[in-house]
């Protein structure tokens, strides 16, 4: 029998498979299911969500790809593990139309300040080389929010040797790129300050000065937020890329 605790919110018909996969993932997490626990059958899930079994199969296939479940023909779907990908699924579904720069930069400040500290403590010679190349390419990049800016922040996260932190930072940096592009259009001179702060951060990481690295990253992200925030009422929305 299908558990009554399974989420029942209306579904967006354009992304049924993805949304069902997320709802199931949330249910697995909230119920604290363990590896080996069985999920409801395809017919039960289809009835509960009011969708075709093909949609349920798509959702189960996505969860299987993420490593959340294993599907055995004739037996059903069983919990395999609870990877961090469940969290990443939710990050990717954040709606840019409802996120303000304050929401995003507050989270980035929390995560990336510690990221910079860990990078300074744990960086390898190879990490320094990669950071130097990323900084060099960023210095040549004519705008904010470009690929090289993202690469620099991802490389700092990689130096932490924490793959979960690295992927979370990567997701957030990608989400904020369109917002930075809009800031650059408003004032192209801002890119110079961003480059300077990146260079200072690299030096702190090179010197293994975790305190300085954290402070520089915090200032870097707070400066970025200040570019866009005048008052809460004037808080600009992140532009949606077309």
Res 163 pLDDT > 90: no
Signed CA dihedral, 157, 161, 165, 168: sign only:
positive
Q: Give the model's pLDDT for residue 161.
A: 93
The span from the CA of 127 to the CA of 157, in Å, is 10
Instruction: Please state the rounded mean pLDDT for residues 40-67.
Output: 88
37: helix, strand or coil: coil
The span from the CA of 85 to the CA of 29, in Å, is 12
Q: Give the model's pLDDT for residue 181.
A: 64
Complete domains list, the chain, with CATH: 13-87 (1.10.10.10), 94-234 (1.20.120.530)
Res 187 pLDDT > 80: no
Residue 6 token pair: 């399974």
Instruction: With cut-offs at 50, 70 and 90, classify the pLDDT of residue 232.
Output: very low
Res 190 pLDDT > 80: no
- Residue 226 contacts residue 101 (beta carbons within 8 Å): no
Residue 140 CB neighbour total at 10 angstroms: 8
The span from the CA of 236 to the CA of 230, in Å, is 9
Query: pTM of whole model > 0.95?
Result: no
Distance of CA 68 to the CA centre of its chain: 18
What are the pLDDT digits (tens) for 123-134? 999 999 999 998
Res 176 pLDDT > 60: yes
Q: What percent of the chain has pLDDT over 70?
A: 72
């Amino acid at each position: 029998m299908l558990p009554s605790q399974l989420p029942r919110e209306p579904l967006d018909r354009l992304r049924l498979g993805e949304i069902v996969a997320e709802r199931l993932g949330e249910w697995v997490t909230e119920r604290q299911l363990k590896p080996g626990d069985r999920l409801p059958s395809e017919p039960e899930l289809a009835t509960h969500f009011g969708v075709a079994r093909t949609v349920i199969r798509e959702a189960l296939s996505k969860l299987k790809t993420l490593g959340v479940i294993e599907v055995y023909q004739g037996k059903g779907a069983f919990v395999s593990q609870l990877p961090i990908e469940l969290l990443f699924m939710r990050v990717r579904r954040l709606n840019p139309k409802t996120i303000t720069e304050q929401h995003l930069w507050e989270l980035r400040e929390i995560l990336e300040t510690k990221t910079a500290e860990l990078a300074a403590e744990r960086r390898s010679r190879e990490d320094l080389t990669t950071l130097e190349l990323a900084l060099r390419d960023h210095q040549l990049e004519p705008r904010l929010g470009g690929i090289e800016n993202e690469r620099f922040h991802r490389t700092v996260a990689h130096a932490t040797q924490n793959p979960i932190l690295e992927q979370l930072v990567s997701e957030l940096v990608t989400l904020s790129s369109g917002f930075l592009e809009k800031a650059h259009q408003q004032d192209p001179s801002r890119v110079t300050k961003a480059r300077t702060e990146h260079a200072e951060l690299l030096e702190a990481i090179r010197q293994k000065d975790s305190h300085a690295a954290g402070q520089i990253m915090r200032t870097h992200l707070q400066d970025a937020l200040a570019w866009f925030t005048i008052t809460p009422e004037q808080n600009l929305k992140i532009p949606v890329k077309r």
